[in-house]
């Protein structure tokens, strides 16, 4: 395959990964804030499969990006690429943390049918998912900046 085709596949799979990670994450956060047990239970139960496809897409994007860099004779140790590696790793950690939050909500609703009457709804007050979504969006923008501008940061 040529560099251009591999670069296209890298960008396409990364785009799919982002779309299937951030979009559903925002929707899950908003559904959780609605406080409606039926919606929360159904949405969070279905989220795992969407996030698995997102993770696979990110993985394919990384593989095609690596192959494209090798075929395109890019220096894999270039400062902009190393910066991108670090940002992608930090993005992955935030994605894992968000996934853990969604699984915790799904488990709570599956086992109890909700958080129970008379108990304050922790989903409406919890700030962690909003932080994680915001951080993921900022990291994605930073990765795009680094990949397009290719700054020499060190």
User: Per-residue pLDDT tens for 64-102?
Assistant: 999 999 999 899 999 999 999 999 999 999 999 999 999
The lowest-confidence range among 64-78, 97-111, 134-148 is 97-111
* pLDDT at 58 > cutoff 80: yes
Name the percent of the chain lying above pLDDT 90: 71
Structure confidence at residue 118 (pLDDT) = 42
Q: With cut-offs at 50, 70 and 90, classify the pLDDT of residue 110.
A: confident
For residues 47 and 99, what is the distance between their CA atoms, to the nearest angstrom? 9
* pLDDT at 116 > cutoff 60: no
* pLDDT at 106 > cutoff 70: yes
Domain boundaries, the chain: 3-149
Q: DSSP letter string over 71-83?
A: HTT--TT-HHHHH
First CA to last CA distance, the chain: 32
Paired tokens of 29: 């956060």
131-to-9, 31, 36 alpha-carbon distances in Å: 30, 16, 22
Structure confidence at residue 114 (pLDDT) = 60
């Amino acid at each position: 395959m040529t560099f251009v085709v591999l670069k296209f596949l890298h960008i396409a799979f990364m785009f799919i990964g982002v779309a299937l990670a951030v979009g559903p994450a925002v929707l899950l956060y908003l559904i959780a804030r609605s406080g409606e047990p039926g919606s929360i239970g159904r949405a969070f139960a279905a989220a795992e499969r969407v996030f698995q496809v997102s993770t696979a897409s990110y993985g394919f994007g990384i593989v095609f990006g690596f192959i494209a860099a090798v075929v395109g004779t890019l220096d894999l140790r270039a400062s902009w690429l190393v910066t991108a590696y670090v940002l992608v790793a930090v993005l992955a950690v935030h994605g894992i943390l968000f996934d853990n939050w969604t699984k915790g909500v799904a488990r709570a609703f599956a086992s109890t049918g909700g958080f129970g009457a008379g108990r304050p709804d922790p989903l409406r007050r919890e700030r962690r998912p909003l932080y994680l979504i915001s951080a993921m969006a900022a990291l994605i923008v930073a990765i795009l900046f680094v990949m397009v501008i290719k700054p020499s940061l060190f």
